[in-house]
Amino acid sequence: MDGSLPCKLSQALSPCRERKHASQFTRKDTMEQHIKESERFLPVDGAYDVAVVGGGIAGAAAAIAAARNGAKTCLIEKAGALGGLATIGNVVHYLPLCDGKGNQVIAGLGEELLLASIRDGYAQLPAGWRQGGNEQERLKARYEVKFSPASMMLELEELTVKAGVELLYDTVFCDVVKQGSRIHALLVENKSGRLALVCKTVVDASGDADVCARAGEETESFRTNVAGGWFHYVKGKEVFLQPQTRHFTADPSQLTQGIRGYSGTDGRDVTAQILESRQMIRDRLAELRQKSPGTVLYPLFIPTIATFRMTRRLKAAVELRMEDERKFFDDVIGMTGSWRTKGPIFY
């Protein structure tokens, strides 16, 4: 590895000093308003063809696809498991791969991961979508499943490692170093300290457009996230799933009166959303116990991350709308149905 890279990275960081970092700010009620972070040389911990930031379902799929196509790939994940909201967020519903009218519209890795999520027998495919299923059966139930979060964690990790992806758990993406208009390296932090990862291509699967924002791209943020916490609980000797969330809207004017909206890009809002969501779980458990006096009832698995729906995203040239249903674009790379409505297909 080029031993001069740390020096180059240090020099490349200098222009970025104009952009304010979190370490330069303190709360207004403290005496100091700014603290200057000293410049330092960072060790280069790896060089990759593709670096993926965020190990949710999308990030894991991107990393697996890149590695299977021969790219040297790393996957940076701040938690200690893959799957994001689907696993450590306990949103265990794998949404439909069909259009609701008996036609499969998603295959490839999307289908591979759905099948992997129930490989251990936790759930079964709807009859119409099993081998030998017929059209009439497919019309009765959509191509979707609910899975065990633990099973999905293990399966995702195994698929990722087998593909040859280098996993970096407990590693937080911090910033980028650019050369011209391109990202030259990602700056991350973990137990080894602050490190640089040189890369040719970056996939921002953070769910919060973190890489886009740090790279200076135009983004838009939303403060309309609400509390929510799906959880599994044990009642007697049976396990139950309790989905619950407040109504989500991207329009602040449509928030239900008295319901607080949260920003996913504000550290204190993130904590506040988690706290309110946990209280929702406590309240619901209390209601369930009240309905079943004398029955042993306790939580088995709760989310351990903020359950945000939409936080920050890259400002798009085009935004898909319902009227774009079945409208084909020249640069299309995929297609999907609608989990809410039967029939629509979007390219």
Say yes or no to pLDDT of 28 above 80.
Answer: no
Indicate the SS3 state at residue 141. coil
Q: Is residue 38 in a domain?
A: no
Residue 289 CA to chain centroid, in angstroms? 33
Quote the pLDDT of residue 27.
52
Give the pLDDT confidence of 132-186 residue by residue, as tens digits: 999 999 999 999 999 999 999 999 999 999 999 999 999 999 999 999 999 999 9
Count up the domains in the chain and report the number: 1
Q: Is residue 301 in a domain?
A: yes
Say yes or no to pLDDT of 21 above 80.
Answer: no
Quote the pLDDT of residue 251.
72
Quote the pLDDT of residue 5.
53
Quote the pLDDT of residue 110.
97
Give the pLDDT confidence of 245-287 residue by residue, as tens digits: 877 676 776 666 678 899 999 999 999 999 999 999 999 999 9
pTM over 0.85: yes
Taking a C-beta distance cutoff of 8 angstroms, is the pair 66, 202 a contact?
no
Quote the pLDDT of residue 254.
67
Q: Which tops the pLDDT comparison, 4 or 146?
A: 146
Quote the pLDDT of residue 12.
47
Say yes or no to pLDDT of 112 above 70.
Answer: yes
254 by Cβ neighbours in 10 Å (0-12 / 13-18 / 19+) ranks as exposed
d(CA 314, CA 228) in angstroms, rounded, equals 25
Q: Position 159: which residue type?
A: L
d(CA 277, CA 283) in angstroms, rounded, equals 10
Q: Is residue 263 in a domain?
A: yes
**Cα-flanking dihedrals φ and ψ of residue 64, to 5°?**
-60, -45
Sign of the dihedral defined by the CA atoms of residues 128, 240, 160, 84, in that order: positive
Give the pLDDT confidence of 287-336 residue by residue, as tens digits: 999 999 999 999 999 999 999 999 999 998 888 898 999 999 999 989 99
Quote the pLDDT of residue 320.
87
Q: Is residue 146 in a domain?
A: no
d(CA 87, CA 90) in angstroms, rounded, equals 5
The pLDDT confidence band at residue 29, using thresholds 50, 70 and 90, is low
Say yes or no to pLDDT of 7 above 90.
Answer: no
Q: Is residue 115 in a domain?
A: no
Say yes or no to pLDDT of 8 above 50.
Answer: no
Nearest to 191 by CA among 217, 211, 171: 171
Q: Is residue 270 in a domain?
A: yes
Give the pLDDT confidence of 36-69 residue by residue, as tens digits: 888 889 999 999 999 999 999 999 999 999 999 9
Q: How many CB atoms lie within 10 A of CB 237?
A: 6
Quote the pLDDT of residue 37.
86
Say yes or no to pLDDT of 97 above 90.
Answer: yes
Residue 236's domain comprises 223-315
What's the DSSP call for residue 80? S
The pLDDT confidence band at residue 20, using thresholds 50, 70 and 90, is very low
